[in-house]
Structure 1
Amino acid sequence: MSNQLKGVSNQLINELNLEKHDLTKMMYDMILIRKFEENLKQLYQQGKIHGTMHLCIGQEATAVGACFPLTKEDKITSTHRGHGHSIAKGTDVNKMVAELLGKVTGYCKGKGGSMHIADMEVGNLGANGIVAAGLPLGTGAALTSQMKKLGYVVLCFFGDGATNEGAFHESLNLASVWNLPIVFFCENNLYGMSGSIKEMTNIESIAVRGASYGIPSETIDGNDILEVIKATTAAVERARHNNGPTLIEANTYRWEGHSRSDARKYRTREEEKEWKKSNDPIERFKTVLLENGIITEDDFAELNEKAIKQIQDAVEFAESSESPSLDTLMTDIYV
C-alpha cells in the first residue's frame, strides 16, 4: 500500500471513530462470509443442497460495511444473493446451513432454502427470490417505523438488475414523497443473469437515478469497506434524523456465476482473474489493518482458522439435524 493510500485509510479509521475491536470484528465477518459461501459450494457439488443458490464471494465488503452502522433494531431487506447480508446482520449460521440442507432446525424448518432466510430478532426481514421485491417491502417497513414512531432505519439491499424494475422506481418515489427513514443500497456487481449492466442500462451510473426522485445519491467503491462504512453511516444518520432516504450505488464484483448453473460465458476468465488479484475486498482490508498496526499476520491466520471452525461446526450441526417429516408437508404454508 502506498503512503498516500495508507494515510487515507488511517484518516478514515479516525474519522469514523473505529476501534480495534470494530475493525477486527468486521475482518472476521468478511472472512466468515467467504468461508460460508465456499463451504456451500462444496456441499452443493456433493449433492447435499438441492435447488439453486446465489453465492456472494467477492462482495463481502458491501454486506459487512453497509450493516456496520445499523443497530439490532434497524432492519434490512435482502436479495436472492443474501447470505452475506444475513451473516453481517447477525443471523445464526447454524440455522442458515440447516435451512440450506433442508433440515427442521433451519430458519424455515428446511422448507425455504437459500432465498427465504429471515431472522426478525436481529432485524433481518429476509431474502427474496424475486428481483426488486425487497424494495417495496423495505419501503413498507420504513413507513411502519415512521407512522408508529418506532425509530428504526431500514437498509434495503438490491442488485443492479433491480433498478430496471418498476418496484425500484415506485419505492424510491414513495420514500422520497413521504420522507421515509430508508437507505437504498445497490450492489452493482456489473453483471445480471446473462449479460453486462452496460447492455441493460443506458446510463453511466445507477446513482444518477436518485436525482429523478430528489434523493441524495452517490457511487462508491463497494470493495473498500471503509468507503462503504463512510457512505452508509452518513445515509443512516440522515434517515435517523428524519432527513429522508439515500441511494448508494456500491460497485463490486461477484466471483462466481449468477447461480450454480451459470457458465459465465458473458465475461472473460482474464477479467475474473484480475478482479480476484487486485480487488479482493478481504485482501484490501487486510492490507489496511496490517499497515496501520491493527492486526498482524498471525492475528489474521487466527481469524481465518476461527471462521473455518465456526462453519465446520455449523455444517456438523446441520448434518446431524433431522429432515422434515412428510406429515408436515402442508404446515406453515399460510400464517
Structure 2
Amino acid sequence: MSYQDDDEEQMGPHSESFPKDFGYGHSPREANLESKPRILLMGLRRSGKSSIQKVVFHKMSPNETLFLPSTCEIVKDDINNSSFVQFQIWDFPGQIDFIDPTFDSDMIFGGCGALIFVIDAKDDYNEALTKFKNTVTKAYKVNPRIKFEVFIHKVDGISDDSKMESQRDIHQRATDDLSDAGLHQIRLSFHLTSIYDHSIFEAFSKVVQKLIPQLPTLENLLNIFISNSGIEKAFLFDVVSKIYIATDCSPVDMQSYELCCDMIDVAIDLSSIYSTEEEAFDNKTSSLIKLNNSTVLYLREVNKFLALVCILREENFNKQGVIDYNFLCFRDAIGQVFELKIRATKHMDEDIEVSLMESPNDSVVF
C-alpha cells in the first residue's frame, strides 16, 4: 500500500514565474483535485524541502535524500488515498521570485490551506527571513486564511541549547519583520525538524490537523474513548505516512509518539511476511506489545487507512474486553464521521461536473 504518485501526470513544464493565463485541464477529476486543501513547501534552495516530502510521503530513506537533485520546477503531489488526509503538496524551487510581476500570486495562494517555509538551521538565515517576510506578506494579501508554518530544519547534530536559541532568534526576527510590515495579526507556528528522527512527522501532523474540519469531533471521540478505557494516550494514525491526524487532549510526548510510529512499522512488516502488500493492513490487524516498564502498546485497525494506537499501564489492560468493546463503539463513530465526509465530497463532485457541463469555455482556471 503506498500513496498514489501522480508526478508524471502533474509535473508538466513549468516556468519559474506563472503568467496569469496559466490554466489546467478540465476533467471533473482534475477540478476535484484542485478543490482539496493545498500545502505549499517554500524556502531557499537546498533548505531540505524535497527531502521532507520524499521522506514523509514516499517512504524514502533519509540517507537517500542526499542524492536528490535541486528542485528546478514546481512539483505537485496529490495525497489522496487516505480517508482524512487528502490534500496537495506543491514543492517550490527556491529561486522563484514572488516579487516578479508575472508571478500569479492569486492562483498560487488563493487555494492554499497552509504555507510551510523551510529554514536551514545550520545556514545563515538572514536571506531566508527576508524571503519569508516577502512571501508571507504577498500570500496574506491574497488569502488571509492561510496557516503559516515555519520548519526550522536540519537540527540533527545541533545541541539542545543551540536549537532553542535558533528557534528564539528566528521567532523574534520573523515576528518583528511582520510587525514592521503592519502584519502583527498573523499567527506563526514554529517547529524544530529533522528527517533523521520523528520530528518531521510530528511537525507535519500538526500542520495537517489544521486542515481537517473533523478534527474537533475526532479529538472528542478519542477523549471519550480513553477516559472510559483506562488508557493514558491514544493516537489516530494515517498508516502510510505515520502522520497522526488526531490525538486526545493530553500533551504529546515525543518518545511516546516515536514508540507508536515504530509499532506501526513492526505490525506492517510482520503482516507483510504472511500476506501480500495490499493485505498487510486489514480489518483483522491488531498488535500488542508489552514493554519492560509495565507499559502496553495496543494497535487496532480503524479502516484500511487509519490505525488507533494506545498507550496504557499493564494493570489497566486486564480489562481488555472493555477496551475492545469501547474500541468497536469508537470505530463505528469514526465510520459515521467518514460517511458524512464521503457524502459531502460526492455532492461537491456532482456540483463540479454540472458546472463543467454548463461552462461555455470548458476549462478550469484557478
- Both proteins in one fold, TM over 0.5: no
Greater RCO between the two (CA within 8 Å, min separation 6)? 1
The two structures have a TM-score, normalised by structure 2, of 0.32
Q: Give the structure with the higher percent strand.
A: 2
The two structures have a TM-score, normalised by structure 1, of 0.34
The structure with more radius of gyration: 2
